[in-house]
């Protein structure tokens, strides 16, 4: 696999994130565009991209009162591996550590932002 890059999502990434969610979760209801835009604005929506700018995955971290709420772990179906999941969750955990928060994976996936 090419070199991978991680960055914090910006408003111009919302459509690509919505597309990723539709591909990765075809049988599940996914958040609408406005909900994704709120996640970009509230917390850290982290994106994993290949060197060709292909969006491979995403994870959201919301820091609140010493807890890092980790949700929305999503990986492109054609690239879904344990390695990428571990990488995304590792960065989310490191972000929590950097702010002195305990990471907590959300069972319900999306937490109101």
pLDDT (tens digit, 9 = 90+) per residue, 76-91?
998 888 888 889 999 9
pLDDT the model gives residue 65? 87
Q: How confident is the model at residue 112 (pLDDT cuts 50, 70, 90)?
A: very low
pLDDT the model gives residue 1? 56
pLDDT the model gives residue 110? 43
pLDDT the model gives residue 62? 92
CA atoms within 13 A on the CB side of 89: 14
Q: 91 in helix, strand or coil?
A: helix
Residue pair 96/68 in contact (Cβ under 8 Å)? The answer is: yes
On the question of pLDDT at 5 being above 70, the answer is yes
Residue pair 48/56 in contact (Cβ under 8 Å)? The answer is: yes
pLDDT tens digits, 7-49: 999 999 999 999 999 999 898 888 899 999 999 999 999 999 9
Q: Does the global pTM surpass 0.85?
A: yes
pLDDT the model gives residue 111? 38
Residue pair 61/92 in contact (Cβ under 8 Å)? The answer is: yes
Give me the mean pLDDT over the 39-61 stretch: 92
Look at 2 and 38; give whichever has higher pLDDT.
38
Residue pair 47/57 in contact (Cβ under 8 Å)? The answer is: yes
Q: Report the distance separating Cα 77 and Cα 92, nearest Å.
A: 20
């Amino acid at each position: 696999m090419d070199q991978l890059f991680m960055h914090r999502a910006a408003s111009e990434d919302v459509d690509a994130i919505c597309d990723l969610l539709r591909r990765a979760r075809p049988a599940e209801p996914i958040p609408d565009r406005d909900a994704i835009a709120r996640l970009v604005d509230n917390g850290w929506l982290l994106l994993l991209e290949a060197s060709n700018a292909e969006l491979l995955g995403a994870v959201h971290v919301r820091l609140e009162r010493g807890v890092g709420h980790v949700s929305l772990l999503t990986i492109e179906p054609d690239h879904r591996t344990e390695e990428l999941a571990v990488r995304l969750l590792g960065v989310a955990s490191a972000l929590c550590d950097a702010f002195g928060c305990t990471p907590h994976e959300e069972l319900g996936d999306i937490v109101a932002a």
